[in-house]
Chain A
Amino acid sequence: MTGTISPVYLLNVERGEQEAAELLDVIAERQLADWEGEWAPELFRAMQRLRRAGVERSQWPQSRHWDWRKKTVALQQGILAQAGFSIVCDGLTQGMMIVDTTMKRCRIDSQQGRNLVYVEYVENAPWNRKELFNPPRYRGVGSILVRAAIALSEDLGFRGRLGLHSLPQADGFYADTCNMADIGIDRDYHNLRYFKMTPGCAQTFIMKGRGGGGTL
């Protein structure tokens, strides 16, 4: 599977400087191999450390059960309603995201019924997660992926509108870093908090990125 490659930059935390990376508009076999061969063992070891340190299970990574090979089945089948993105830096996949462009619509009154890009899954490599690695290896993965979702939303004519249900550990990122509107707990969807990015929020977030970059 081939896709478009865009140059982006991540913050190498240890060196304190920007490092060149690639944003791909696909999740290819190479990304799935990185997930299986690099992410999964690292995540396992990180959870082992949490367990041995007596950290409660509720504080462990809430995406630890995610199976990216299963999640990408529709992408591999060429279903246009879904799109996948990944970021590669230093020869390894640093983050992945799957979005849906047909199944969800806006819920807030001013945008009711308008189309949006719904972020189904987004995940950072374990070594980039500050709750698992101190310091994390790279920062900026989440922000770049959210910006990619906004760009797709604009390309599809949705004016930057996004929606997503957030795992509790990521609520702060969507509320504070992305400035997304917090619509509240969704009783119909695993009691997860629903966040919405309006066209105005999207523009603000894009402008903010031009001035510095994100932190997830």
Chain B
Amino acid sequence: MSAKKTMTLNLRENEMRVLEELSKRKDMSKTALLRQALRMYQLVEARLENGDKLFFEDEQTKTKAEIMML
């Protein structure tokens, strides 16, 4: 696997709290969680640019809500 580069990330306290909560819940380090977020964000952007839509679906009612990405 290719070499990694280091960067400093500045987060607000509430952002850091969310990052810590998510990394604990997902059993991942903060770095691993942010790398995963980057992969997902790039994938979503590519699919949207390709004309696809992103939805959340309620499993019971099957109601769909489209996610509007900025």
Contact = CB atoms under 8 A, between A and B. Distances in A.
Contacts of B65: none
Given A157-B29, A157-B33, A4 B1 contact: yes
B43 A81 contact: yes
Contacts of B36: 101-102, 115, 156-157
A156 B36 CA distance: 8
> A-side binding surface: helix, strand, loop or mixed?
loop
B2 A159 contact: no
Interface of A: 3-4, 25, 77, 79-81, 101-102, 113-115, 151-152, 155-159
A113 B25 CA distance: 10
Interface of B: 1-2, 26-29, 31-33, 35-36, 38-40, 42-43, 46
A114 B28 CA distance: 9
A151 B40 contact: no
23 contacts: A4-B1, A4-B2, A25-B2, A77-B46, A79-B42, A79-B43, A79-B46, A80-B42, A81-B40, A81-B42, A81-B43, A101-B36, A102-B39, A102-B40, A114-B26, A114-B27, A115-B26, A151-B1, A156-B32, A156-B36, A157-B28, A157-B32, A157-B33
A3 B40 CA distance: 22
Given A114-B27, A156-B32, A158-B28, A80 B2 contact: no
A197 to B, nearest CB: 15
A80 B26 contact: no
B39 A81 contact: yes
Given A4-B2, A80-B38, A115 B28 contact: yes
A156 B33 CA distance: 8
A52 B40 CA distance: 48
Nearest to A151: B1
B33 A152 contact: no
B31 A25 contact: no
Contacts of B42: 79-81
10 tightest Cβ-Cβ pairs between the two chains A and B: A157-B32, A157-B28, A81-B43, A80-B39, A81-B39, A102-B40, A102-B39, A157-B29, A80-B42, A4-B2
